[in-house]
Amino acid sequence: MNPFNGWNRSRETLCIMLFLRYLFGMTERMLESLDLRLLRYFAVVAEELNLRRASERLFMTQPPLSRHMNRLEGLLGIALFVRHSRGLVLTDEGKRVLEIVRPLLEQETATRERLHSLRAAGNRAPVIGLTTAFEQGIFTSLESRLFAVHGKGLTLERGTSPRLVREVRRGRVDAAFVALPLDAPGLHVVPLSYVEPLLAVLPAAWPEAAKERLRLGDLSGKPFFWFRREAHPAYFDHTKRVFAHAGFAPEHKEEPAEHDVLLARIAAGEGMGLFPASFSAIRRHGVAFAALAEGGLLGIRLGVAVLPDNETLAEALARLAGEALPAHNTGMAMAQWGAAG
């Protein structure tokens, strides 16, 4: 099979474009100017139904995204969304367009993956992602081993686990060490033995900061920095269940993206947070770390994510990580941090 077929106007693509022309009266010139990017942007906006969240996923600002949607509506000659104060609602025509273009976008993604497999077959050094969910010092030994195996040509890419998954899927990163649980449809994910519990991170001035071990219920009602669900749906849903079972009902505050900013706001007494245990290596005035009885239930596990045709690389990286990182299970880690306070 020719891996470049996806770049040509395939029979399926022609059918989709002719169907759009039939439904919405698009001229041939309008069809030629229809950029796949517009359809991709539309699909993301249709999934989020919120321009701010969609622009964050697409790594762009809201004004150009809004202009792209207006342009697509102009090309199609229909309204795709109804705008209101709380966000967007797909019109009936918008739902039909989404149903029509999804196969085309899936075909484009499959083409990118096939092209990536051709590139990965070469002898170049890989691009490896390292999640920022853990304190970066845990990767020191692993990084040394990676450079020893792949040489100076190796590129390391740091980022959040959801962003790294997107980069793997796009073929920009060959493999990524990510934090689990994680939504990674279409990727091959190898869980590793390295697990960290979460610790409560409190303003040192709070009375609870003097305790060596806490329960989440002890902190109910307190201001609490946490991420939005769309940033990490799988882990958000998992923690939500643990919070409910523990009777933890805090006053939610949106979590800053940068760890140092979050720690500064905690030190200022604005609220508390939950951090993987490795972050306790960072000593900051005004911040106290405390073990949690539920810390193991909230623990995050390291894993390797690759495209399905790159499983050999994933297994090799898993072996390297096994040699470079200490093997934790949740109970062991909790015992260690309970003793350390």
Q: What is the pTM of this model?
A: 0.60
Q: How many angstroms separate the CA atoms of 140 and 130, rounded? A: 11
Strands (E) across the chain are located at: 81-84, 87-90, 127-131, 155-159, 175-180, 188-196, 198-203, 213-214, 223-226, 251-254, 273-276, 287-292, 300-306
Distance of CA 192 to the CA centre of its chain: 18
Q: Give Cβ neighbours of residue 73 (< 8 Å, ≥ 6 apart).
A: 79, 80
* Residue 31, pLDDT score: 46
* Residue 87, pLDDT score: 84
Tokens of 116: 């990536």
Q: How many angstroms separate the CA atoms of 69 and 73, rounded? A: 6
* Residue 260, pLDDT score: 87
* Residue 79, pLDDT score: 93
Residue ranges and CATH numbers for the domains of the chain are 5-119 (1.10.10.10), 125-192+301-325 (3.40.190.10), 198-292 (3.40.190.10)
Ranges of residues in the chain whose predicted pLDDT is under 70: 1-34, 112-124, 327-341
C-alpha distances in angstroms, 177 versus 124, 125, 164, 321? 19, 16, 8, 9
* Residue 258, pLDDT score: 85
Among 112, 151, 124, CA closest to 307: 112
* Residue 36, pLDDT score: 80
Long-range contacts of 82-90 (CB under 8 A, 24+ apart): 87/49, 87/50, 87/51, 88/45, 88/49, 88/50, 88/51, 89/49, 90/46, 90/49
77-90 pLDDT per residue, tens? 899 999 888 889 99
In the block, residue with structure tokens 């698009």: 26
* Residue 151, pLDDT score: 87
91-143 pLDDT per residue, tens? 999 999 999 888 888 887 777 666 565 555 455 678 999 999 999 999 999 99
